[in-house]
Each structure stands twice: as structure tokens, then as C-alpha cells.
Structure 1
Amino acid sequence: MSNPSEVPDLPARLLSDPEMVAACHERDFAKVFVLVRRAGLYPAVIAQRIGQTPSRVGEVISRKRTFRDMHVIERIADGLRIPGAMLGLASREWEVQPATGPVPQQATPGPAPMPTSTIPGTDLDSILAVATGPRLSPSTLRALHSSIEDYWRRDDEHGGEVLRPAVVGQLRYVVELIKDAADDQYRRGLYGIAAELARLTGWTYFDARQYSQARTYFTEALQLAKAVDERRFMANVLACMSLQATYEDRPADAVALSTAAQDAARGHGGTPRVMSMLSMREAFAHASLNNRAATHAALAEAHRQFEQISSGDPDPAWVAYFDEPKLIVDTGIAHGRLGDARTAEPLIADALQREDARNQRGRAFHAYWLAATQLQRGNVDQACSTAALALETAASVGSERVMGHLRDFQAQLTPYSRQPEAATFQTRLRAALQ
């Protein structure tokens, strides 16, 4: 490895780039190495400087492995001249002065606790344009809400990983606005916006199957919502945490979280649509425990609440996605989790035809579940064809969660691996994962 004293510094512009700061902060070395290319350091050069083989660096870039050993992380800091604080390390010997640009201050990776975080913002487009006049105004809050709606739309269409640096930057920007807000009305609105941004950040980590980071941001969202006693939004976050618990094979926790979510919303503005969505989360949790009676009871409650929805309900914006196709497809998935493929398949197929085509991740996810139920019923050719559709749709969305499901489907195909359709799908999936 080169002597650190002979290694040129990375450009200050790169070190202060919010995307680079966030990648270092999370010790996402795949992203770090990709960004370092901007300074002309390609994998072979990176490998030489950090004392690793080019193939190992390539595996990190392709996310087949990562670096966790502190000695290796220190070599990355020294070899690439990344200031220690950016990677949660002590200042390195070669550092003459603090890193150019703002960097995180805590000693361990993960998002800083609100409100003392120093993660810098990113380009805020219309948000900053609005804020250049009066520090706070109703139009500021409207612009912030509008940006959140746009983030969710793009998350549905393209996945959230590329959005995350901008969302985190905007979250920290709003936290700073809260400190300056003297009017209680604005403070309450900003707390709600910050809670939504923290939940969105947690969701992007959950969808990337980075569960520890997701949990940290979901917890921050809960704290922000609790600060203004926004019980409905607390219920929303608890529902997200319940869903994550099912993925982490913690079904008992999933049940407890879904129950807590309903308790938080009940009597505090929990509209029928909200309560229906929360009951569906409970159904998923019980299905993970293979508790058929409790799953069916929760599904019945979800449908009962949904039937009570009226056009005048004061639904929060974040529950608008839970429409009739979503109710139907989630009902099918709950039955699929119980192994009841005969009931699940027509429900999922019907909803898949009716749901918004712009929700690429949702369509890929639901196509997987349709394929899984078709395979349970022994329809191998049809299942592989549907899974190929899911794979094609997933290719346009950066969702490790969807790809994880497709790898599960590949494993389920093992008994049929000699059939041409199964072999074709497995070849396609391997190509997509390279």
C-alpha cells in the first residue's frame, strides 16, 4: 500500500458532497468506491491503496461483501485520504486540519439523533427558494409537503436508495428550521414534516434490507411525532416497524407492534381507512406466526373498516395508497403466507391487473407473490412466467427486498430445476444479480 503521506487528497468538493458524506457515515463502501472514481481512482488503484485485492474491491462494489474490520476501515481512511471523522474514526495522523466541509461528529456509524445531527443538506430546489424570503411561511410548509409527495412517487417508481441522500439532507434542514421556529403553529407543522422524512428514510433502508439503519430512523420518526402528540402518524410508523419485524423473523414483535399501532390510532383520528390498513398489518403478523384464526379475524376487521370508508373522511395523505386493489392484494398475500394458495391466487391476480402501473416496486412485489402461489398449486410454467415478469419489473427499481423475494422463489424452484422453464428463470435471475 502507498505511504499515506504520498497519497494525494481527495478533492474537497467530493469530500463535502452530501452523497459521499452519507456513504462514509453509513460505511457503505460500495458507494464510497463508486464515488471515489470521480477523482480518477479506479478499483485496481483503490485496491492497491487499501491493501486489498482488486477482486475483493470488485465484490464490495457489487455488494457481494463489505468491510467491517476496523483495521481495514482504517486502511481505507489512510489509503484514500478520507478524514477519520467521516468514517467514525479518530483523526488520522496525516490530518493537518479538520476535513473540508461538514462531516458527522459521532464515533459510530448510523444516523445522528435528532436534533443535534450535523449531517449536511443537499440541493433543496424549491424548498430553499421558498425559504430565501421569510424564514417560515405557509408556502414553506406546502413546498415541504409537496417534496415529500414527490419523493414517495419516485420511490414507488424507481426505489429509494438514490433518493436517500436528498431525503436525509432535507430532514436535517427541517430540524434546523424547527430550532428557529418561534410560532407554535409552524413548529408543529415542521415536526410533522420531519417525522414524515424520517419515516421515508427508514423505509428506504427497510426496502434495502438494512434493518438496523431502518429501525434507527423509524425510532426518530416516532420521537418527532410524539413531540407534537401526533398519534395517527405514530401508528403509521409502528405499522412500518411491524412489517419490518415480519421480515426479520420476529413475528411476536410484529404482532405487538401492530397492536400498539392500532391502540395509538384508535380514538385519536384513526379513520376507517387508517384502521383498515393497521388491521392488515396485524393480519400479516399473525400469518407470520401461522396463526390462522387470528389472521382471519384481523382480515375480517380490515375489510369491515374498509367498508365504512366515506368520501368525507379526514384521511391523512400517507394512507391514500391503501385503496381497494391494495386491500385485495394484501388479503391475498396474507392467505399466501398461510399457504392457502387456492384462495390467494385469484385475489392477487385481480389486484395486480387493477393497481397503478406506475408503482413499479409494488407490481414487482405482487407479481412475486402471484408466482409463489402459482408454484404452490403446481403450475410451474405459469409461475416461472409470472416470476419473469416480476424480475423484469424489478430491474427498473432498486429494491433489495424484491430481489430477496425472487431469490426465495429461485430456492422454491429447486425440485423443478430440470424443467426448461425453471432453468430459464434461474439463468435470468443469475444474470440480473451479477
Structure 2
Amino acid sequence: MDDLRPSPAQIPDRLLNDPVFAHAARVRDFTTVFSMAREHGVSFYRIGEAAGMKPERVAKVARGEATVTTLDATERIADALRIPGAFLGLAARPWEYSSPRPHPEADDGDDPMNRRQVLRGALAAGLTTTALTALRETRQSLDLALAADTAPADLSDLEAAAEAYGYGYHGQVPTRFLADLVSDFAELRPHLDSPQPVAARIRVCRTAGQMAGMIAIVLHDLGTRKEARKWFATASRAAQESGDRQLHAWVLAREAMVPINYGAPQAAALLAEQARHAAGSQPTAAATLAAAVAARAYALSHQQDQAHEALTAADALMERLDASARADTWLTHSEQKHHVHLSHALTALGDTRRARESQQRALELSAPTSTMTRALLTIDAATCTHQDGDTEEACRRIVTVLTTLPDAYRSGLVRHRATDLYHSIPGRRHHERAVHELRDVLAA
């Protein structure tokens, strides 16, 4: 198979003999290094591709508008341009021992076809010293690529951004939150387009899975369920490529909440069970979430035995979660979120006493800025009130919620859940003042 790693953007030997270039390398003046490399036929794009830098940043460094300060970046530039370590005050680079610089007019030794011919010629005579050396160098070159931490510097920033988004809206309007999240997600594309070491590729795919999943969550909250499903599919592919089974289980469990909230609980149960299988039996955030979502799906589809089994499993897993898995983020499973799920499941089961206990606990743990969560809990509480026989009070409570919410929160999931309650009220009562008022608010 052809080597898919970018070829070094090797500068010609004559440049290393240029005293101006040698001095610039010695003092790590990469403005001069990049400018002279370009003058000798090495484009900024090729430098960036080989060194794990954006071409725009390479150009900025060449114009003196940016600098290279980290040791990691210096080493990557040395390897990309094939500048011997001594020129930059570094130890000899690994490739200096096995891959001496060829003559400028020689064939490119990194060319896959040329390398294949060299190996065939060496092996034709059997496993001689020459053949074993060629095999060793081939293996070592891959070992270096696998071991090297040559991920672009801004990948760490994007990983940190994904973690920050995981803390949720914090009072931000969902549409604005979504715009920022999508903008950062778009910055992952160049990392996926360019070849990466295995470890870096895993990090990119994991971050992409997290961000795509969170974009899907916001779209779901805003009521755009078709787009949400598409983003969940993207998140699922990224999670699978990363090899992170817990992330994949989290994506599936979160995706199951779309059909739960939009009238397809049996489809939701299938997805939730896939998530439970992917997560395994260990007490993880994803496994706990998957069980809780399964309980909601089964409760809504009137499968009481399965719902109670899933609730018991969710509670048992929750008790065993460690502190990090209990953090209050979208990517973990906090006690507050656990009770939000239990509130919906128990409300759907008609267990209003236990549902109210979970509603009260979830509200105690919810931040004042958790506008949507508090609204959904209030709707659950109103539904319990309706189930206990006071439909008029239930309607009044939901009208209050809908009329006091900011405009950005009145559509989507909140409106759908309020509509579900309205549809559960017998038609003979629709003429009553409170029910009529709820209908008018929903229509508006």
C-alpha cells in the first residue's frame, strides 16, 4: 500500500550551504527560513502540510507576522524541511541515521514506487543483511510516525473548546451557541483532510464526534429533528473511527432522545438498546445515560416491565459512577441530568409521587440559567398534576411557562412537550377556559 503520510518538503542541499540560511536556522529565524525555502521551490502549502501547520500560518511566519516558539514546532519544521538537527540546535533527528540526504538530482527516495523497487531488489537475494536493513528502516519509519506527537498545535485548542461546549448553554441563546459551536467544528476539517499520525487522527475523530453530537443536541432542542439526526450520524461515524466505544454509546443514547421527544418511542428504544450494548456493563456515564433513556422510551411505549428494568439498571449504574463521570456536562451524567430523565420516565409511567421527587431534586440541582431544563421539568410537573386530576391547574402552569420563556426557547422541544399534554386532555374538556387558553398560546 502506498505511504499516505505527506512527503517531507525537503529543501535542496545548496540551501544548507548558504551562510544566510545557516545563520537563520541557527537563531531560529523562521521568517528567513520559510522565505528562502519558498524561493528555492518549496511552497508554503507543502511546508504546512509536511510540518502540520496551516499554510496561512506558514505565510504569516514568512512575512514576520507570526513566530515559531515551541520546541515541538521547531522539531516538526526540521523534519519537514529535512534540516539536520545541528543547524537548529537540536539533537540529530531520527531520519539522519537511516536516511541521509540524497543528491539534489537523485530520485526522491520517499517515492513509493522507488521504495518498492529497492525492497524487491534487496529481498531478491534472500534475507541478507541489506534486505534486513531495508526492512528495519521501513518498520522504524512507521514506528516513528506512530509514536510521534505531531498533531497540529491548534488541535489542543479545539479539544479544549469541545470540553467547554460540553458545559451547555449557561444562559446563552441556543442559536448563538450553535453558531459558535459550528464555527469551531469547521476548523477540524483541515485536520481530517490532511494525513495525521494514528494518535493524532484518533484525537481529531474523537473531538469531531463530541462536537457533532453537541451540534445535534442543539438542533434537537430547537426542533430541527431531521438535521439533528444527520448530525448524529456524522457524530457516530467519527466516534466509531476514533475507536472510543463510550463516545459511540453516548452518541447513540443522545440520538435516541430525538424519537423519544418527537413521538417514536419504539424507535428510541432500539437506539437506546444499541447504546447500552456499545457501552457495556461497567458503570460509565454513557452506560447510565443509555439505561435512563431506554427507561423513558419503554415508558412512553407502555412497556412497563422493560421500563422498570431500565430504571433499576440506571439507578444502579448511577450509584457506582465516579466523580468525573458525575460532572455536570453534556458528555457526562450528573445527578441533575439523571433526575431529569427519571422525571420524564416516571411521569410517563404515571408514578407521580416518584416523578415529583425527581423533579424537585433536579430543580434543586439546576442552575438558574438552565432555562430549557427548568421549563421541561415544569411541564413534567404539570403533566403529573393533570394525571392526578387537576387539569385546569396543569394548563395554567404550562401557559405561565410558555408566556414567560424567551422567544428562542418557545419552539422546538418545549413546545412539543406542551403540545403532548394538550393532546392528552379529553376533547370534552377543550371548551374549558384554561384548556382553551393553552390551545391559544400553543397556536401563537
User: 1:365 & 1:275 partners in 2: Cα distance?
Assistant: 23
The CA RMSD over aligned residues, in Å, is 3.1
Decide whether aligned partners of structure 1 residues 368 and 423 sit closer, same or farther in structure 2, where only a CA change above 3 A counts: same
**Greater mean alpha carbon deviation, residues 231-240 or residues 380-389:** 380-389
Decide whether aligned partners of structure 1 residues 158 and 385 sit closer, same or farther in structure 2, where only a CA change above 3 A counts: farther
User: 2:403 & 2:164 partners in 1: Cα distance?
Assistant: 24
Task: Please tell me whether residue 347 in structure 1 is matched to residue 358 in structure 2.
Answer: yes
Match of 1:160 in 2: 174
Decide whether aligned partners of structure 1 residues 285 and 312 sit closer, same or farther in structure 2, where only a CA change above 3 A counts: closer
Match of 1:220 in 2: 234
Cα drift, residue 275 of structure 1: 1.9
- What is the TM-score when the length of structure 1 is the normalising length? 0.60
Note the 1:192-207 alignment, pairs <5 A. 192-207=206-221
The CA deviation string for residues 297-331 of structure 1, in whole angstroms up to 9 with x for no partner, is 110111111111233669896433x2223222322
Cα pair 1:367 1:389 within 8 Å, conserved: no
Match of 1:242 in 2: 256
Identity of counterpart residues, as a percentage?
21
Consecutive unaligned residues in structure 1, runs of 5 or more = 1-130
Cα drift, residue 358 of structure 1: 1.8
The CA deviation string for residues 357-393 of structure 1, in whole angstroms up to 9 with x for no partner, is 2211111111111111111112245424432443256
Cα pair 2:340 2:359 within 8 Å, conserved: yes
Task: Please tell me whether residue 332 in structure 1 is matched to residue 346 in structure 2.
Answer: no
Decide whether aligned partners of structure 1 residues 312 and 324 sit closer, same or farther in structure 2, where only a CA change above 3 A counts: closer
Task: Please tell me whether residue 364 in structure 1 is matched to residue 349 in structure 2.
Answer: no
Cα pair 1:273 1:315 within 8 Å, conserved: no
User: 1:152 & 1:203 partners in 2: Cα distance?
Assistant: 11
The CA deviation string for residues 132-170 of structure 1, in whole angstroms up to 9 with x for no partner, is 966976862342133334445453634533443443333
**Greater mean alpha carbon deviation, residues 295-304 or residues 404-413:** 404-413
Match of 1:143 in 2: 157
User: 1:317 & 1:181 partners in 2: Cα distance?
Assistant: 32
1:336 is matched by which residue type in structure 2? Answer: T
| SS at 2:154 equivalent | helix
Match of 1:231 in 2: 245
Task: Please tell me whether residue 265 in structure 1 is matched to residue 276 in structure 2.
Answer: no
1:213 is matched by which residue type in structure 2? Answer: E
User: 1:389 & 1:291 partners in 2: Cα distance?
Assistant: 32
2:306 is matched by which residue type in structure 1? Answer: A
User: 1:167 & 1:146 partners in 2: Cα distance?
Assistant: 12
User: 1:373 & 1:235 partners in 2: Cα distance?
Assistant: 31
Cα drift, residue 420 of structure 1: 4.9
2:308 is matched by which residue type in structure 1? Answer: H
Cα pair 1:156 1:361 within 8 Å, conserved: no
User: 1:132 & 1:151 partners in 2: Cα distance?
Assistant: 29
User: 2:277 & 2:419 partners in 1: Cα distance?
Assistant: 36
2:279 is matched by which residue type in structure 1? Answer: A
Cα drift, residue 177 of structure 1: 1.8
**Greater mean alpha carbon deviation, residues 382-391 or residues 212-221:** 382-391
Consecutive unaligned residues in structure 2, runs of 5 or more = 1-65, 77-149
| SS at 1:319 equivalent | coil
Q: How many residues align?
A: 298
Note the 1:168-183 alignment, pairs <5 A. 168-180=182-194, 182-183=196-197
Match of 1:60 in 2: none
Cα pair 1:158 1:360 within 8 Å, conserved: no
Match of 1:287 in 2: 299
